[in-house]
Amino acid sequence: MHLIYFDESGNSGGNLADPQQPVFVLCALIVPEQKWQSLETALAAAVEQSWPQPRPAGFEIHATELINPKTDFFRKATPDHRLAFMGAWLKLAVQHDLKLVFRAINKQQYARWLNQTFGAGVSINPHVAALALVAQVINSHLRKLPGTPLGIFISDENHQVARDVDKAIRLLRGAEGSVRLTQIIEKGFFVESHNSLAIQLCDLCAYVIRRHEEVRLGRKSKPVDGELWKLVEPLVTIGDEKFRDVVGWLESQQKKERPGA
């Protein structure tokens, strides 16, 4: 069994024209069950070393707090301290030989595709589209592993998309043809991110990838962007996301929901 943790970065909901967040990234961290306990222990030990008690109630690792902190607790730490911790956590993912799958969506291009394909007024959250694409790579990855293990999806609690995501997983598990998720069991599980160190680690990865993709679009790069990307890049698994098949599936599902449209 593989535990597959999801988190996102650059979520602006239905606003696909936000100039401050031009890219949406959905990231999935694949953790084999035999490595889960070791990973959790190592992540917790790193937290204790860098952020010893007393910590504030609801303490949680967020990439944005480490890069540009808003709370007093993280603001008290120097930038070097915060970045060193971020690097230490990312190195733990590499040491545990974890795999990372992601999909970056250019929101302006996505908005144009929605309008051209479905017409004005139709909104499909980019999270759902990215999930369908990422899920294909994960499914293919699991099928190629010895024993063809199964996986289970665990996501950060996101009330905006939880229902749509759960529905998409269920439909993809029962779909016909190439987009069917043969290795994913049950439904999607949603947990509060402060209760999962693995989701918090995934949050760091998603942030680093989003910054990398924004720089590729022409945003100004900072030295830290390249340094962090070098730590995340070895984790990235590239696979067949069946882009055309997934797009066709999205179109067919939309037509079923809006017959005659």
Beta strands (DSSP E) in the chain are: 2-9, 23-32, 99-106, 151-156, 189-191
- Ranked by mean pLDDT, the top range of 69-73, 121-125, 239-243 is 69-73
What's the whole-number mean pLDDT along residues 182-192?
92
Given this model, what pLDDT does residue 240 score? 86
Residue at token pair 């490595």 = 35
Domains of the chain are: 2-257 (3.30.420.10)
In angstroms, what is the C-alpha Rg of the chain? Answer: 19
Contact yes or no for 99/30 (Cβ under 8 A): yes
Measured from the Cβ of residue 164, the count of other Cβ atoms closer than 10 Å reads 15
Q: Give the whole-angstrom CA distance, residue 91 versus residue 70.
A: 25
**Burial letters 125-139, b for 16+ CB under 10 A, else e:** bbbbbbbbbbbbbbb
For residue 206, which of 47, 129, 130, 100 has the smallest C-alpha distance? 100
Give 3-state DSSP helix, strand, coil % of the chain, rounded to 5: 55, 15, 30
Q: What is the pLDDT of residues 74-109, one digit of tens each?
A: 999 999 999 999 999 999 999 999 999 999 999 999
Q: What is the pLDDT of residues 130-149, one digit of tens each?
A: 999 999 999 999 999 999 99
- What is the token pair recorded at 76? 């008290």
Q: Taking the model in full, what pTM does it have?
A: 0.94
Residue at token pair 């908005």 = 111
Q: What is the pLDDT of residues 109-118, one digit of tens each?
A: 999 998 888 8
Contact yes or no for 140/240 (Cβ under 8 A): yes
* DSSP designation for 260: T
Q: What is the pLDDT of residues 29-77, one digit of tens each?
A: 999 999 999 999 999 999 999 999 999 998 999 999 999 999 999 999 9
- What is the token pair recorded at 164? 């749509």
